[in-house]
Amino acid sequence: MMEKLYGYAGQTLKVDLTKGKVIKEPLDRDLVKRFLGGRGLNGRLLFDLVGPDVDPMSPDNVLLIATGPVNGLLGLTTGRVDVTSLSPLTGIFGNSNAGTNFAPELKYAGYDNIVVVGRSKKPVYLLIEDDHVELRDASDLKGSGVFETTDVLKERHDDVKVAAVGRAAENGVLYGSVIFDYWDAAGRAGMGTVMASKNLKAIGVSGTGSIEVADPDRYYEVARDGWLALMNDFGFKTQEHSVLGTAVCVGWGNAQGWLPTRNFRESYFEDADKISGEEFRDRFSVKESPIPAGRACMSCPNRCKRYGVIRTGKYAGTRGNIEFEAIGAFGSKCGVGDFDAVFHANMIANDYGMDAVSCGNMIATFMEWREEGIIDDEFLDGLDLRFGNADAMVEAIHKIANREGKIGELGGLGSYLAAKAISEKAMYYTSNVKGMDSISCDPRAAKGFGFAYAVASRGSDHLRAHPVFEMIKLPPEIGKDLFGDPEAVDLRKYGGKPEMVAWHEELGAITDSIGSCRFMHASYYTQYPVPELIHKYFKLKGEVHSLKYHEWISAVTGWNISYEELLRIGKRIINVERAFNIRRGIRRKDDTLPERFFKDKVPRGPAKGEIYTRDTFNKMIDRYYEIRGWDPETGLIKRETLEDLELHDVLKILEKEGLVV
């Protein structure tokens, strides 16, 4: 008899939409031992299933949804789900992650992951009720919004957990999102667009099963220690993040001078206090503050989801969850200080099923293009799309989702492909790396974050590394201990940043692969060995508590993974994503930042005068490649790196295509 796979449900669900068939297979235990689950598992499957010639919108592309070994367990956040595919927005590795109840429910139903291939002739949705799995007709739901679709499925199938796509994705907007239970978006990289291209409107899941862990006594201790690490965290103790959610970053980012404003012209927004976390709490929150004021993903004491309702005015009745990135995208980037409009914009983007970050960025880019005379009123279909015009911004969202006029046609492509269709000059004003729009943090003002954008596997993005380390006031000794340079704790300095980004990327890959949340490892530094170092350098008394992923995973699975082995798994995950991108043509030249960050200084605010120095940046890339074991000339992965990580089959494929150094 085969050894029991603790922590996992044990089955993969394969859905072939072309044939209309669903197959259940045992979970590949060798694969999860090497890649854990979630993003790691999906990345590896994507590499195997999608070759370099596949078109993202073709039936040959696959949609991968995966949970990890801690999803659905008691512990420091266990609700995150990973969605991976070849991105239609960027043409490279694409994935997105959401905090849900969906992932645990899928495991209780008996499945660790879903592999969707092919394309259905007519719209369908996938219904999973424990052992019973079927594809159902969704013709009546075609074109309907995410909220309505979710309502219908919940009504029809007794409160199932729902993942749905909206009209924007169906209309071919390249940054369509998959939205879980109304508000939780796997927003980035167009995962919803891929799902819609397969004619898969939604997935509903309910499960009644159980998940067992290998060592329950040890598990309880490890989980409790992680929990107490959060309770003792400085940041958590202030309750700022809990009470204000990610929107705490509006005030914080503005004070530190990295809040992108009027596209990326500036990094300080004069109206930030009108769109702040405090303002949301006081104006829209329906629950009493300060506790709890928020809603939580599965098993999370941080509860950072902001739920609110607009009570008066023309957007009265709009309700839902908002996050910092959406506020940055529709707020400061568009120069809009009208919170009703920003909140409303985010909610209609959710209902249309579009990534709020890419959508807001696209509109902000249109605004700057107009000011720079790159596009005219005819292009804008009569919209007075200037910075600060909230009504025009909201109108632009409708036009993009419905692909109306030139603005809708190009707006649905994202700023990179839209700029490509317009002019070289237009490209200068986009904030993309590898075709992906940047989030709300100015690279010039936050050197580590900026560097992370350049090397992120899904294009400009903070959620590969998420090096909040440089934003919080930690003793320089910790920077020295962890990253070899005390400057690592300094937002404006370059020292130790490649090391810092690499470490965060590796642990972050683990977080995304086990099904936990990035905030516990970066934002809060509950993650071993940071609490230990804080304890040492702040000379704290009493016991140190920390969240030790290696012990957590070991207690769940019984595999006994060390901290070093954990980082190795992280490296393996990152290298598979790199290998996928290499096959898609990604090289050193693509690991860069948008030109403007090397050329234009931040004009005002706390980061006034800051710029990204190109020479320094190039040296950082050299250093990063050295850490990663990649070739400094080309950016290809070195043979010995793949051998060290036991990625022999990946090596074989790259070798055949002449893509190894």
Partner 1 sequence: MKKLVFNPDLCTGCRACELACSFINEGVFSPTKARIRVVKFDRDGIDVPTGCEHCEDAPCMIVCPVRSIYRDEDTQAVILDPDICIGCKRCMIACPFGAIGFDEDKKVFFKCDLCRGDPECVKWCFTRAVSYSTSLDVDTIKKVKIARKEAAAQARARDLR
* Residue 656: partners with Cβ closer than 8 Å, 6 or more residues away: none
CB of 177 to partner 1, least distance (A): 16
In sequence order, what E strands does 509-588 have? none
CB of 139 to partner 1, least distance (A): 24
Our CA dihedral for 274, 280, 282, 284, rounded to 10 degrees, sits at: 120
Cβ closer to partner 1: 150 or 361?
A: 150
Task: List C-alpha distances in Å: 464 to 419, 435, 452, 458.
Answer: 25, 16, 7, 8
Q: Would you say 436 and 464 are in contact if contact means Cβ atoms under 8 Å apart?
A: no
Environment class of 44 (CB within 10 Å of its CB; exposed 0-12, middle 13-18, buried 19+): buried
CB of 319 to partner 1, least distance (A): 7
- State the Cα–Cα distance between residues 476 and 86, nearest whole angstrom: 40
Cβ closer to partner 1: 141 or 396?
A: 141
CB of 181 to partner 1, least distance (A): 5
CB of 148 to partner 1, least distance (A): 11
CB of 213 to partner 1, least distance (A): 8
CB of 152 to partner 1, least distance (A): 12
Helix or strand run (H / E) with residue 21:
strand 21-26
SS3 per residue for 386-446: CCCCHHHHHHHHHHHHCCCHHHHHHHCCHHHHHHHHHCHHHHHCCCCECCECCCCCCCCCC
- State the Cα–Cα distance between residues 55 and 176, nearest whole angstrom: 17
Cβ closer to partner 1: 476 or 558?
A: 558
Phi, psi of 245 (to 5 degrees): 70, -165
Count the residues in the chain: 661
Helix or strand run (H / E) with residue 370:
helix 356-371
Among candidate residues 162, 119, 169, the one with its CA nearest the CA of residue 144 = 169
- The tokens for 434 are 């590898």
> Vertex 467, ends 462 and 468: CA angle to 5°?
105
Cβ closer to partner 1: 54 or 74?
A: 74
CB of 352 to partner 1, least distance (A): 17
CB of 79 to partner 1, least distance (A): 9
- The tokens for 205 are 């899941």
Binding positions for partner 1, rule: CB under 8 A = 72-74, 101, 108, 147, 150-151, 181-183, 208-213, 216, 220, 227, 231, 286-288, 291-292, 294-301, 303, 307-309, 319-321
Is residue 322 left, alpha or beta, with left meaning phi > 0 and alpha meaning psi from -120 to 50?
Answer: beta
* Residue 258: partners with Cβ closer than 8 Å, 6 or more residues away: 267, 441, 442, 445, 446, 449, 491, 607
Cβ closer to partner 1: 213 or 637?
A: 213
CB of 573 to partner 1, least distance (A): 25
Cβ closer to partner 1: 220 or 537?
A: 220
Beta bridge partners of 206: 129
Task: List C-alpha distances in Å: 89 to 58, 194, 462.
Answer: 14, 10, 17
> Vertex 450, ends 447 and 454: CA angle to 5°?
135
CB of 275 to partner 1, least distance (A): 20
Q: Would you say 449 and 491 are in contact if contact means Cβ atoms under 8 Å apart?
A: no
Cβ closer to partner 1: 28 or 148?
A: 148
CB of 206 to partner 1, least distance (A): 10
Task: List C-alpha distances in Å: 160 to 101, 139, 180, 202, 208.
Answer: 10, 19, 11, 11, 11
Cβ closer to partner 1: 40 or 320?
A: 320
Longest dimension (CA), the chain: 70
- State the Cα–Cα distance between residues 186 and 554, nearest whole angstrom: 28
Cβ closer to partner 1: 104 or 257?
A: 104
CB of 304 to partner 1, least distance (A): 10
CB of 320 to partner 1, least distance (A): 8
Helix (H, G, I), strand (E, B) or coil at 169: helix
Cβ closer to partner 1: 287 or 601?
A: 287
Cβ closer to partner 1: 104 or 328?
A: 104
Amino acid at 388: G
CB of 184 to partner 1, least distance (A): 9
Beta bridge partners of 285: 308
Cβ closer to partner 1: 90 or 511?
A: 511
Cβ closer to partner 1: 277 or 320?
A: 320
Beta bridge partners of 133: 128
Cβ closer to partner 1: 260 or 308?
A: 308
Cβ closer to partner 1: 309 or 661?
A: 309
Helix or strand run (H / E) with residue 537:
helix 530-537
CB of 292 to partner 1, least distance (A): 4
Cβ closer to partner 1: 318 or 592?
A: 318
